[in-house]
Amino acid sequence: MSKPEWQPRCEALAAELRAACAAACAPDEVRAEDRTGTMLAEEEDPYVAPFYPIGQIYHFRIRVRRTHLLFGRRWLPVRYWSTLVRFGMEEMFDAPWWAKDKGLWCVVHGAGLDGRVRAIMARFAFAHGLRLDFAGTAKDP
């Protein structure tokens, strides 16, 4: 099993997107969440051991902390994390073509961030030769 080669690149992309979102939401607290998981082999595949790690599934979220006033009262603030941007990709350890074939996906939930995020994602995809599936402003899950 080889070492994941896309992990540091995706983390650098998350840091760049976090900085762009922090500039747009200046007074708010912005963070990048890494929800990377391991891709496991299928149990029915006769060529690999069942549930053997065969790759990585990268999933990152850029979130902002918001405050909602409960019942409109100033003394009842409720703080929660709202998703601004989600992006991710897949990598298989023994198939270097997999990441370029599947590509990179991105969904923007924050209003007014479409242009900034699209430019950063397009530059990253072009620099690494990836296909980009970009969904514009979407409803927050």
Identify the DSSP state of 95: B
Model pLDDT, residue 11: 92
Model pLDDT, residue 136: 64
Model pLDDT, residue 127: 93
How far apart (Å, rounded) are the C-alpha atoms in residues 103 and 58? 11
Model pLDDT, residue 25: 82
How far apart (Å, rounded) are the C-alpha atoms in residues 101 and 80? 36
Model pLDDT, residue 137: 64
Q: At what angle do helices 7-24 and 114-128 cross, to 10 degrees?
A: 160
Reduce the secondary structure of 19-64 to three states and give it as a string. HHHHHHCCCCCEEEEECCEEEECCCCCCCCCCCCEEEEEEEEEEEE
How far apart (Å, rounded) are the C-alpha atoms in residues 83 and 72? 23
Which residue positions in the chain have pLDDT lower than 50? Answer: 1
How far apart (Å, rounded) are the C-alpha atoms in residues 16 and 123? 12
Is the dihedral angle over the CA atoms 97, 130, 12, 40 positive or is it negative? negative
pLDDT tens digit sequence for 52-86 = 888 899 999 999 998 888 887 788 889 899 899 99
How far apart (Å, rounded) are the C-alpha atoms in residues 4 and 56? 7
Q: CB of 66 within 8 A of CB of 72?
A: no
Model pLDDT, residue 1: 46
Q: CB of 58 within 8 A of CB of 36?
A: yes
